[in-house]
Amino acid sequence: MMLYLLGGMATVLTLLGFLVPARVSRMLSLATLVAGIAYLARTWGEPASLFGGLYRVDSLAQGFTLVALLGVLWFLLAARSDKFEFPLFGLYAALGMHVMASSNNLVVMLLGLEVFSLPLYLLATWRRDEAGFEAGLKYFLLGALSSAVFIYGIALHFGATGSFEAGTQGQGILFASGLLLVMAALAFKVAMVPFHWWAPDVYQGSPTSVSLLMATAVKAAAFAALLRVLAQENMDVWGLALMLLVALTVLIGNLGALAQNEAKRLLAYSSIAHAGYTALALFSPTGAPAVGFYLLTYLLGTGLAFAVLQQISERDVPYAALRGLIYRKPLLGVALGLALFSLAGLPPLVGFWGKYLVFLEAAKAGQYGLVVLALLTSAVAAYYYLKLFSLVVMQKPAGAPGQDLAATSLDEARLPRLSTSSSARFAIVVATILLVILGLVPGWAFRVFIAG
């Protein structure tokens, strides 16, 4: 089973880490993730249960685990590190995300959350500079606070219902308080407003490949848990709170992005806004496939954008570093342009269909006001995506022909030259192709999430 595969290989590589070269550890980690994805494909739609139902593989677990594994796989393909711990932390994170997505028990969800959070705290500080330490400290302190809130919410939920099972029906102020606290803790992980303040600083201060992991795979695990927690017949308990979260998230996420002058911070605010768009489908009892499909389209768009930025710099990426990118690195320029178009929801790219489906689910649930607000803020998002695209395509490079990507600003000029590795180039090409193909035939990917 997936649990044994990820957990077993993570344990083995921990024991072998000091005995085998880091390159071997990286290759074994990649092979483990590929084997996990292959196992998912072979057993798709086949339910399974272990440990008295604490671990449950269903269509929800399979779909969201797929998105999480793809995000971790991309992180390892893009990452540049000669330390064996780097891919190992990614493998532990994948294990935690799978556990969180594959249980209906709130305590097991908490264990999964901690298993993937602890490696991310360490990865956030990987740069070992002031910005990296700030990112790691903020993520750790606020993450610890969110875990404490989660635990308190679990305690209140158990006090009100006598059960640790997510989705258990209850009533009264004790039950409502517990449910809202659990929802707040999970909203932190997906960076929904007002639990979003960590995201811009952490994304900017972390290595770009780590920012890719945080922005993609983590959201899949957290939204899987949210879908299980909010499987309530009475929406009065959490509906108003979620409406407020979604409205604030799409507003502040998009308006905050307008004021940025650094690409990673812009994508952080973009990630906040997309969390709000994804949450629109939570209002519908049939919204799980739409959430999964949206997260897949978001993985391709945001992951591709971060993968391109990672080839420019593992540190800050000021807008000046993107000027004329398509003239100097055509592959990176085209990939970033398509990623931005997909994130803006422009047809015929797959991002359009992702937004269409979550908007449709929200409309089916009667949330017409939120749909209108989401459409208006999507227009704001299109402005800053197109502004970034104009730097990539429409403006000539500031330096001489052949000038290194990082040399377009004084700070970047001090960095070593970064060339596109074969594994990173492969991931960028595949994602670029998928953005187009799945935009033309979105049913292929959507059927994956409705299977079973």
pLDDT digits (tens, 9 = 90+) for 88-115: 999 999 999 999 999 999 999 999 999 9
Distance from C-alpha of 22 to C-alpha of 39, rounded to nearest angstrom: 26
How many domains does the chain fold into? Answer: 1
Please state the rounded mean pLDDT for residues 339-354: 93
User: Is 292's pLDDT higher than 50?
Assistant: yes
Distance from C-alpha of 261 to C-alpha of 215, rounded to nearest angstrom: 19
Distance from C-alpha of 354 to C-alpha of 359, rounded to nearest angstrom: 9
In this prediction the pTM is: 0.91
Q: What percent of the chain has pLDDT over 90?
A: 61
Overall size of the chain counted in residues: 452
Q: How much is the pLDDT for 102?
A: 92
Please state the rounded mean pLDDT for residues 296-306: 94
Q: What percent of the chain has pLDDT over 70?
A: 93
Distance from C-alpha of 165 to C-alpha of 183, rounded to nearest angstrom: 14
Q: How much is the pLDDT for 419?
A: 52
User: Is 329's pLDDT higher than 80?
Assistant: yes
User: Is 242's pLDDT higher than 70?
Assistant: yes
Structure tokens at 186: 């999970």
Burial 62-76 (b: 16+ CB within 10 A, else e): bbbbbbbbbbbbbbb
Q: How much is the pLDDT for 50?
A: 86
Q: Residue 423 CB: number of other CB atoms within 10 A?
A: 15
Q: How much is the pLDDT for 396?
A: 57
Range of 79's domain?
Answer: 2-451
3-state secondary structure string across the chain: CHHHHHHHHHHHHHHHCCCCCHHHHHHHHHHHHHHHHHHHHHCCCCCEEEHHHCEEECHHHHHHHHHHHHHHHHHHHHCCCCCCHHHHHHHHHHHHHHHHHCCCEHHHHHHHHHHHHHHHHHHHCCCCCHHHHHHHHHHHHHHHHHHHHHHHHHHHHHHHHCCCECCCCCCCHHHHHHHHHHHHHHHHHCCCCCCCCHHHHHHHHCCHHHHHHHHHHHHHHHHHHHHHHCCCCCCCCCHHHHHHHHHHHHHHHHHHHHCCCEHHHHHHHHHHHHHHHHHHHHHCCCCHHHHHHHHHHHHHHHHHHHHHHHHHCCCCCEHHHHCCHHHHCHHHHHHHHHHHHHHHCCCCCHHHHHHHHHHHHHHHCCCHHHHHHHHHHHHHHHHHHHHHHHHHHCCCCCCCCCCCHHHHCHHHHCCCCCCCCHHHHHHHHHHHHHHHHHHHCCHHHHHHHHCC
For the chain, give the mean pLDDT: 88
Structure tokens at 281: 């489908």
Are the C-beta atoms of 357 and 293 separated by less than 8 Å? Answer: yes
Q: How much is the pLDDT for 388?
A: 92
Rg (CA), the chain: 21
Please state the rounded mean pLDDT for residues 34-45: 91
Per DSSP, what are the bridge partners of residue 49? 56
Q: How much is the pLDDT for 236?
A: 74
